[in-house]
Amino acid sequence: MTVRFLVLCSLLVLAVALPVRADNGWSTVAYPLAGPPQVIGSHAAGCIAGAMALPLAGDGYQVMRPSRNRYYGHPMLVRFVERLGQQAAARGARLLVGDLAQPRGGPMPNGHRSHQSGLDVDVWFLQQPRDRLLSRADTERIEMPTMVRAAEGTLNPSRWSPRYRDMLKMAAQSPEVDRIFVNAIIKQALCYSETDRSWLSKVRPWWGHDAHFHVRLACPPGDGQCKPQKPFPPGDGCDADLANWVRDIVRAALSPRPFRKPEPPSADRLPVACNAVLYGPMARGW
């Protein structure tokens, strides 16, 4: 019996015996797990094996906050971002890409409840000119500007651009995209301005998301361990429910409550199969 074999056996025993560690195990593991891509669980309680790193810059996009090491995802997600970047580049723009997932997915100690399964990506509304590449320091420093006047329930016309609507529409029309979260005020403005509202069905209202949009891909075809999200109701969603969302956002802006930092998502809810993802060997080539 070789030493390597013994080490492998003890690793496997560890993987079975140890509970999934709370958050920090997932946020400190530096590299993806080797092997074919496999999503396990859901966007808000899941992990990913065989994730790919999105290159930090490509034609029409650049990754922001790279020091967080959250630029990993299912190859389908990486291809989606690269393609959206090319579409932006064709229009003379460069997208600023926020968080995807940690190298093996899982809960993050701050910032998101989802983004756990390598199928979510945040894209800033703010864009750069195609030929402007930000310095590394700027990718860590530049603030993400809001596009809404929350207390008035309207877009901020001095910030908003039809270019941002174009990228949102192109993302929504990508077949692999399940849904996109934006601030309800942004969705409502689009409900008023769009003549063809069919693409708005995938654009779902949420809190925050006034400076970036959050794209969520559907489970990859044939990926049996990936748990899909419940489908949303049919229709374009330009309805009374959306109006309620906007009303609540305006109210919250007018009488803000003291901010209570939410608890980070727990690792206890992850599928057991995520143990082997967290404790398995790193992908070759890293």
Binding window for Zn ion (CB under 5 A); candidates: 39-47, 116-124, 125-133, 136-144 = 116-124
Residue nearest to Zn ion (CB): 214
Told to check if 214 binds Zn ion by CB under 5 A, we report yes
Binding window for Zn ion (CB under 5 A); candidates: 17-25, 67-75, 114-122, 150-158 = 114-122
Nearest-angstrom CA–CA distance, 269 and 45: 6
Indicate the residue type of 286: W
DSSP structural state of residue 35: S
DSSP letter string, 187-204: HHHHHHH-S--GGGGGEE
Told to check if 223 binds Zn ion by CB under 5 A, we report no
Q: Identify which of residues 122 and 178 has a Cβ nearer to Zn ion in the complex.
A: 122
Both structure tokens of 53: 């790193």
Report the run of H or E that residue 123 belongs to, with start and end: strand 120-129
Binding window for Zn ion (CB under 5 A); candidates: 49-57, 73-81, 156-164, 211-219 = 211-219
| Backbone phi, psi, residue 181, to 5° | -100, 130
First-last CA distance in the chain: 27
Using CB under 5 A, which residues numbered 77 to 106 contact Zn ion? none
Binding window for Zn ion (CB under 5 A); candidates: 14-22, 115-123, 146-154, 198-206 = 115-123
Told to check if 122 binds Zn ion by CB under 5 A, we report yes
Told to check if 210 binds Zn ion by CB under 5 A, we report no
* Shortest spacing between CB 281 and Zn ion, in angstroms: 29
* Shortest spacing between CB 97 and Zn ion, in angstroms: 11
Both structure tokens of 227: 């748990």
* Shortest spacing between CB 19 and Zn ion, in angstroms: 27
- The angle, 0 to 180 degrees and rounded to 10, between the axes of the packed helices 184-193 and 162-172 is 100
Cβ neighbors of 18 (< 8 A, separation 6 or more) are 275, 279
Nearest-angstrom CA–CA distance, 47 and 103: 9
* Shortest spacing between CB 6 and Zn ion, in angstroms: 42
Using CB under 5 A, which residues numbered 137 to 196 contact Zn ion? none
Both structure tokens of 214: 């959050």
Q: Identify which of residues 119 and 249 has a Cβ nearer to Zn ion in the complex.
A: 119
Q: Identify which of residues 101 and 155 has a Cβ nearer to Zn ion in the complex.
A: 101
* Shortest spacing between CB 101 and Zn ion, in angstroms: 10
Residues in contact with Zn ion by the rule CB under 5 A: 122, 214
